[in-house]
Amino acid sequence: MTLTLSYSNPSLKGTIQVPGDKSISHRAIMFGSMASGTTTVEGFLLGDDCLSTISCFRKLGVGIELDGKTVTITSGGEASWQEPSEVLDTGNSGTTTRLMLGLLAGTSFHSVMAGDESIAKRPMKRIINPLREMGADIRGRQDGQFTPLAVQGTTLSAINYTLPVASAQVKSAILLAALKAEGKTVITEPVATRDHTEIMLEHFGAVITRRNGSIELEGGQKLTAAHVQVPGDISSAAFMIGAALITGQSEVVLTNVGSNPTRTGILDVIEQMGADFDLKERAVEGEPSADLTIRSSKLNGIEIGGDLIPRLIDEIPLIALIATQAHGTTVIKDAEELRVKETDRIAAVVAELSKMGADITATEDGMIINGPTPLTGAEMKTYGDHRLGMMAAVAALAATGEVQIDDPDCIAVSFPNFVEQMNSLIN
Ligand code: S3P
């Protein structure tokens, strides 16, 4: 089904609570399934990716009940998981696939994981290599590079590992495997990535030591059930931020948005571009969150690269779009990881924004955008990638003419009802 969007100088006003954080929602299900007792999760993201995680843990025998955005997980702990009689379907979710590899590697049973067409193309060796060093028995196409993956659970031993790619998924898979391994695991991160796993490990009672870019975890630790409060997802908020910035006379309030510093690169970027916004931190336990007020702004092009990239990796399609409306040149570099996301996001963003009239060029590790350029209606492809779908919908606000989006359903991976919510802000 194609979605057609057409606006005439829209102005956005109002308050929105964006859906729960995707990374934290996945982890809450995983940690609640590993812990003994009853874990409750509030503000859970009812997006397709996190529902895939729930379905996988149900197949391991964990009791998981959903009541609106509240999830109750009743588990006898990791030792009570059962060998699944079906393939664990991870859908479109890289986080489910990769983090679960770390968990399944240390069980005493056999399991098979597979996802959709996009998952079947995403690199898994980055996870399997360190897990194999720990003793894991994992098989898959091209020596384990691609799904479907078969895991024969076994005894694991600790490792010392320096991450070759800045990836929270790799770090997290090793940390989860390390919980069951014999000995002390030490992971070194040359560049900091999101630390939701570390925060949640402590929240569920594990002891970890974090110093100077390294994390130490002693194996054999058991987790205790906990209550998890999930803040709004800053990666989802980013699209509302972009919508307010590039439309005239807009003022949007986004309440309770996660403001973990490993995720707020988008705020650093819009500040440097000259955006008009206020941030009010809220007092919460565990993961920090804030209320954000964002207004229409005249933006300038900037250079984005280095250590900032992992702090905004999922926001780059949206940043590219706002750069088309900024004055001057925006250069995005050091972002070659975009080539192995849900789709090749460098190629896809450049192809789709070019169709609308943007002056945008792909480079090996990023893109160069000259602005401002007027945007015109076009037939936009999502490549089955939720963030490409939202980029196209936000671009429609600033475009003249009709924007058609070929597969809007994929947006539900991280932000169900995104277009309805965005439209509800239009006066
Ligand atoms: C995620 C880590 C990032 C991010 C993804 C979610 C996570 O991936 O792009 O959307 O929840 O740990 P990488 O670890 O591949 O960088």
Is residue 234 lining ligand 1, measured as CB closer than 6 Å?
no
> Exposure pattern of 380-417 as b/e (b: 16+ CB <10 Å)?
bbbbbbbbbbbbbbbbbbbbeeebbbbbbebbbbbbee
Asked which of 178, 211, 229 is the last residue of a domain, the reply is 229
Is residue 414 lining ligand 1, measured as CB closer than 6 Å?
no
Judgement on whether residues 194 and 219 belong to the same structural domain of the protein: yes
Judgement on whether residues 14 and 116 belong to the same structural domain of the protein: no
Which of 301, 312, 254, 300 is closest to 278 using CA atoms?
Answer: 254
Judgement on whether residues 252 and 366 belong to the same structural domain of the protein: yes
* pLDDT more than 70, % of the chain: 100
Judgement on whether residues 137 and 198 belong to the same structural domain of the protein: yes
Can you give the pLDDT at residue 283?
A: 76
Is the confidence at residue 308, as pLDDT, over 90? yes
Judgement on whether residues 166 and 62 belong to the same structural domain of the protein: yes
Judgement on whether residues 205 and 348 belong to the same structural domain of the protein: no
C-alpha pair distances (Å), 81 with each of 104, 148, 239, 354: 10, 21, 38, 49
Domain that holds residue 334: 3-20+231-424
Domain count, the chain: 2
Asked which of 200, 229, 258 is the last residue of a domain, the reply is 229
Asked which of 203, 229, 255 is the last residue of a domain, the reply is 229
Q: Is 345 annotated as a binding residue?
A: yes
Q: What is the pLDDT of residues 255-299, one digit of tens each?
A: 999 999 999 999 999 999 999 999 999 976 789 999 999 999 999
Can you give the pLDDT at residue 285?
A: 73
Probe target for ligand 1 pocket from 194, 196, 385, with the most ligand atoms within 8 Å of CB: 194
What CATH number does residue 285 fall under?
Answer: 3.65.10.10
Judgement on whether residues 76 and 59 belong to the same structural domain of the protein: yes
As to burial, measured by CB atoms within 10 angstroms (0-12 exposed, 13-18 middle, 19+ buried), residue 142 is exposed
Is the confidence at residue 78, as pLDDT, over 80? yes
Mean pLDDT across the chain: 98
Judgement on whether residues 169 and 283 belong to the same structural domain of the protein: no
Point out the residues that are catalytic. 314
Is the confidence at residue 216, as pLDDT, over 80? yes
Q: What is the pLDDT of residues 22-43, one digit of tens each?
A: 999 999 999 999 999 999 999 9
Judgement on whether residues 155 and 182 belong to the same structural domain of the protein: yes
Mean pLDDT of 76-100: 98
Is the confidence at residue 427, as pLDDT, over 90? no
Mean pLDDT of 198-217: 97
Can you give the pLDDT at residue 272?
A: 98
Q: What is the pLDDT of residues 138-162, one digit of tens each?
A: 999 999 999 999 999 999 999 999 9
Judgement on whether residues 330 and 389 belong to the same structural domain of the protein: yes
Judgement on whether residues 137 and 186 belong to the same structural domain of the protein: yes
Judgement on whether residues 215 and 147 belong to the same structural domain of the protein: yes
Q: Is 387 annotated as a binding residue?
A: yes
Spacing, Cα 167 to ligand 1 middle (Å): 6
Is residue 260 lining ligand 1, measured as CB closer than 6 Å?
no
